[in-house]
Structure 1
């Protein structure tokens, strides 16, 4: 992966993303302790509040994307980031669960808007054959930014005073404002014309696309498997030292930074993207067959199997991400990228919401059979993606307009719908 992309919108997006995700890393690492140790909220209230905030982001994702299409994605992205920065300053005065929700609720809406707008910016100012590359490059940058932010946040956690936590929040707010300023260098992206008749939120009426979103959301539970179930599995069911949790996370992070762009090759067509989703399902199945072996192994063999399984898992994660980007861009009408990217994000958010309960129940509650069930589910869902995408392509080929009267362009795969194979590679 080149260190810097060519000058232009991709480099500007990458710079803004790096700044913004450094702030994300600050918040991700410090938020729970800030709310419990500084604000004084019980752990149960913190969990409930964060779940409610996630729900707000999920249900407003598509409307926020529609807003980005209508007002112009560049303006919505800049305005969303700037408003997020101002709201973040408001967190410094939070003293109760109600106060937190009054600030975090609007922030969830603003975050959904700027995320959907960023996808629409890519759809509007990046050539079709460079869109998946752009998303892949930005994901690599995101991992770098979060890692840097998390490392800096560690200083504040070590100090463990209210002033330290407030300093992290102020720094996070500053990253939102700086990212907004950087995005202002982008040229404006044309607004989508208003449909003369029919529903506004056409993405929510696009049943083939929604079927893909549902499958993509189920595959997204693999993040919960890695972030929630695996650390508990290593600590409670294996004889591996606790520091192996950090090792497998490092393997994941470094691999994403180095290989996400490479893994995205070939997924700029709908056909290639659908195949990548299927490969992701089988890779995740393989990792779910290896991880439970560590419950019966010892010492060096346990460590070796954990590293191997983590590498197989991250391969599935890379293919999953690239496949989803290619399909979400490929199936979206050119004048509705915002709401289609917002709807695509809903699946990912839903998968991450249900993941902790599902993956811990299966892996820790059922043990080895649970791992097998989870892996088989990943493979089955991955195999369903190509036929669902083929149906979506056929739907667009046969229908000259979408339900809302928005013209649906021909698919960008440059292949007939029948060319999307459903047999394992």
Structure 2
């Protein structure tokens, strides 16, 4: 398990350790966020939803400009400063009162976090050779799965205590993870800032073939919410499988991603191989949806077996699609604009995660097996379209504008 988490010593290992620390706090806060906002701050569910929606929208809109900032100032500096901003912004949650203050704080927090994410992508491109970038991203994702689970377990202990003081200590723990991750990130090699160039600044948003990939990848990335949101509701409401299967499938998925993600990067070093990986990712997810569609009409034992088989197909699709999309995003981005291209790439994922709970839950719970077949057709079609779109984007990469004297 340890070998699946830590790459060889050097910048890849430093990046991975920083990610382990950072996502430990994220896992903790993901489990505490809703309870803290409604119990300690006193928000209604509607106010919480509006606040989180505004924050997510701002992060989505500003991710590309913040990535451009990382290119211009240097990704290490921007990432360290974003960690530095996340510390006081998180601490402010201890003194926030009311809806307006909450929206302001979580919106600024979301922008800082989006900036951090785009800068990390540029950092990987700056300190890791091109052939190893996808593999390093795989180590980061494996580490993320483990540390988020550990953070959620710690949050479970705080929730079991159930006091306001315990929840506040959760906020403080999250602050500490940001601070430590920032210190570790500062130890990475410096990446030289990119000079200003003639022409438009946000070239990623003018690169139509790349944006077509971003849209397809965002649609395909909706599958990440299948096991987290859709399948638990499906199992409880539409199958005879025991409810504990929800936790068992989530645990199996986490372990499988840790063990398989690095191996799944094989062959994704070039655009053609990465596009093929994304294609097969979509096909495997489509197969999983077909398997899930029949679990509502069989016995408890048969449903449990089919759920396991479907989850296996899903995780194979998940790790291949993730590896392929990283390879495409790095491969299509010009070296001087990795930050803004990684920021634009994350827009698709954010949009997919915003749409997935509503759309996929509606399809499965409202239409049953038919809804699952619609999902299968959509994921399969997007996956099959990926190589053609990536080939088009590769042929139409924009020319690099000269630097401003």
Normalised to the residue count of structure 1, the TM-score between the two structures is 0.93
Aligned residues: 402
- Contact map agreement 1:139 1:260 (CA 8 A) in 2: yes
* Superposed structure 1 runs of 4+ greater than 3 Å apart: none
How big is each residue's C-alpha offset from its partner over 1:361-417, in whole Å with a ceiling of 9 and x where there is no partner?
111111111100111000101111101111111113xx6x14x557xxxxxxxxxxx
**Correspondence for 1:414:** none
**Correspondence for 2:275:** 274
Q: CA RMSD of the aligned region, Å? A: 1.3
How big is each residue's C-alpha offset from its partner over 1:203-237, in whole Å with a ceiling of 9 and x where there is no partner?
00001100000000000110122221111001100
- Contact map agreement 1:282 1:378 (CA 8 A) in 2: yes
**Correspondence for 1:300:** 301
CA distance in 1, matches of 2:53, 2:322: 23
**Correspondence for 1:96:** 98
**Any gaps of 5 or more consecutive residues in structure 1?**
407-425
Tell me, yes or no, if structure 1 residue 151 matches structure 2 residue 159: no
- Contact map agreement 2:23 2:147 (CA 8 A) in 1: yes
> What SS is found at the alignment partner of 1:220?
helix
**Correspondence for 1:181:** 183
How big is each residue's C-alpha offset from its partner over 1:116-171, in whole Å with a ceiling of 9 and x where there is no partner?
00000100110001000000000000011101100111011001111011000000
**Correspondence for 1:75:** 77
Tell me, yes or no, if structure 1 residue 85 matches structure 2 residue 68: no
Deviation (angstroms), 1:198: 1.0
CA distance in 2, matches of 1:300, 1:67: 54
Deviation (angstroms), 1:239: 1.0
CA distance in 1, matches of 2:229, 2:146: 21
- Contact map agreement 1:12 1:182 (CA 8 A) in 2: yes
How big is each residue's C-alpha offset from its partner over 1:29-79, in whole Å with a ceiling of 9 and x where there is no partner?
010111112222111221221111111110010000000000000000000
Correspondence 1:8-407 to 2 at 5 A: 8-195=10-197, 197-396=198-397, 401-402=399-400
CA distance in 2, matches of 1:129, 1:92: 44
CA distance in 2, matches of 1:45, 1:235: 28
- Structure 1 or 2: more helix by fraction: 2
CA distance in 2, matches of 1:286, 1:277: 14
- Contact map agreement 2:239 2:300 (CA 8 A) in 1: no
**Correspondence for 2:9:** 7
Deviation (angstroms), 1:2: 4.6
- Contact map agreement 1:38 1:161 (CA 8 A) in 2: no
Normalised to the residue count of structure 2, the TM-score between the two structures is 0.97
- Contact map agreement 1:89 1:170 (CA 8 A) in 2: yes
CA distance in 2, matches of 1:233, 1:291: 9
> What SS is found at the alignment partner of 1:60?
helix
CA distance in 1, matches of 2:4, 2:366: 44
CA distance in 2, matches of 1:48, 1:244: 32
Distance 1:135 1:3, change over 3 A: closer
